[in-house]
Structure 1
Amino acid sequence: MDYETALSFIHGRYKFKKHPSLDIIKDLLNRLGNPQKDINAIHVAGTNGKGSTVAYLRNIFQADHKTVGTFTSPFLIKFNERISVDGNPISDDELIELVEKIKPIAEEMDETIPGGGPTEFEIITAMMFLYFAKHPVDVVIVEVGIGGILDSTNVFEPTVSVITTIGMDHMKILGDTIPKIASQKAGIIKQNRPVVIGKVDDDAMEVFKNKAAELDAPLYAYGSEFNTSKPVMNNNWQQSFDYEDDDNLVRNIKTSLLGFYQPHNAACAIKAYVLHQQDKGKEVNSSAIVSGIAKTTWPGRFERVNDQPLVVLDGAHNIDAVNEIKKLLTKDFSSNEIYIIIGILADKDYMDMLNILGSIKNVHLVLTKFEAYGSRQSVDVDEISGQIKSKNPVSVIDDWKQAIAQTAGEMSEDDMILITGSLYFISDVRKLFKLE
């Protein structure tokens, strides 16, 4: 089997099942010898902030001289990124070996199980568990795909569970209210295992507290059991803050990831690290916390990819993330013009997202299209451009490469281009800037 054949098998699987459950993934893992029982892992869920929280955690553990596995989605440049060790994707040969092990089992399940065997994400999840069972690391950080309770990753006992934020996304799958979505995320809380909860509203927190109490799971909430000081931004595209919990005070932590939410995400990672260390009877290494956070980069999170002209990428793809972008632009980038080149998937709340960005006085919206993944499509920008409430005229340039080139040619040297709207879109743009 070659690499392309292996990828074709993975991507050729069902994307979703009509009636999702954990039965299929548990059956698949059982046939593989239950590799999920052999890993030492932290589980991370949340509407926004999962990716950067995972990145912070990985870098803290690495700074503490641990080998770290990560399971993340989606990938930005190459599929192999989804399963990584110390930030390095698994090799093509390793991926092929995993598929060769799983493919015949999946095909046997296709023939014997009504409704078919494992989905694409179940296959990838099984690959991850199998890989880390065969190639042990000190800790694996597992990012939830969608939701929590019925997510394919929700089949192992974590040392710590983390829920970063709750917002209105994937509502057709998870529910149309905050408590319903919170109930799905709460599914990763486990019996007697600590759970870290980020900044969420009262309705969501009530769901989490009730679930944690039911399972005797110690709950640590941002703003209560742990907190950060107000971040200060410096001229080097960094913000600094202090972290504090009942047992630890870490001062002058610096992150190059911008946004009001980044100290919050870092704090969730720090608390998860602290709890993991306590679970293992190990000391908390404050210098590893400071060093790990400082070293953390996260592609597509207010990522500066060019200086002249200034071009920034951000994968904001839902209302909560766009609101955070608005806060950041209003506070720290209000003195010059900002050209937002935006492509959004058609199944997102695109009108609300566009109206939020269009309400910023120094923002000029440039709507564009991109090649979406699978059956998903980017929104038809020609149809919606006239409906947007914007402080400034809205442009439409269907070809996103042309949109970047044309905008760069028209802006002044003090202005900024922000490219956003979808992680899939950002992945394509990063290739243009040769960030591979």
Structure 2
Amino acid sequence: MTDLVVRPCPDYSTEGAYKALEEVLKPLGGLDWVTKGMKVAIKANLVGPFKPESAAVTHPALLAALTKLLRQKGAIVTVGDSPGGIYNKVYLDRVYAASGMKAVEAAGGSLNNDFSTAQADFPEAKVLKHFEYTAWLNKADAIIDFCKLKVHGMMGMSAAVKNLFGAIPGTVKLEYHYKYPDYNDFANMLVDLNEYFKPRLSIADAVVTMEGNGPTAGTPRHMGVLLASNSPYKLDLGCAALINLDRSKIPYMEAAYQRGLMPSDCSQLNIDGDLKTYVAKDFKNVAVRRDIALLLGDNVFTRILSKTAGALLRSTPMLDKGLCVGCAACAGLCPAKAITMINKKAVIDRKSCITCFCCQEFCPKGAMKVHRPLAAKLIGRL
């Protein structure tokens, strides 16, 4: 049984994207599970009103190609996401326009225009036992998680598992950052979302990825590959290997591993394709604090130890004053209200900061950077 498929996709040309998607899905049985009239939700990464060339969003050429393949099977296709910001038609229309989503409509799909929310009870969850989510996903018979491979300031990597955080409505995400400031809890919250929604298929757009100051202000990097799996966790193992990032340095992957949801590394996967060909050993990742509770087990002692060591070892957001234009977007979005504007520059109250990196993710100028403290640099690979 194939766990992970890797196929080349050199560019986003219409024909190339279609053929590459066909090829990456074949070893998984293609889309033979799709029946006529089935409602399929494609959960894309549409983090904000970013152009496709920014490498911040799932590319429209790939979403259009998948829509076309699904329509050929008779499926009713809806593409959507809940980006950071207000979850309403006005803002989503901006996001759809900027990210090129007209291509999806041209391929016969629809863009989500249902902005209602629903409540979920999930007693089996580790942390997220009750939550609010975007109701459009309720209408789907199957969910396809089509993520964009990027660096992420808080979680280290944004791929399939992290992409389902987009099931949480707009500004409610900020509440969750404040509710789960502990990386262990936040990581398990992401895993809980994946266990609740259970995407039928997960695909990663790694044709052009984002390195450096991701997930929105980093540098596009061409890698020319697509990955697919029936498991978001196994897909993310492949994505992590691709950008030369160890599983243990990605909090949500460590959480999934501790819960027995994924193997320790790619050597335990049945991979169809040559993943090693595409590995970028010089990929510019960010250093993420790994909670001791994730590494040594979650108990009172490890949580106390984690908080004590955290002040010395955790990465923090740091302002590049030369890039800051004083727009105050960071101050408005900060869930902990730890940012104030002084002389038109953002000032962070370090005692209040919960290092969620929302400011870094949503700064329109990329002025917030991920800063790694000297102690962590000296220790090396913590």
Q: Shorter-chain TM-score category?
A: 0.3 to 0.5
Q: Which of 1 and 2 has higher RCO (CA within 8 Å, sep 6+)?
A: 2
**TM-score, structure 2 normalization:** 0.34
Q: Which has the larger radius of gyration?
A: 1
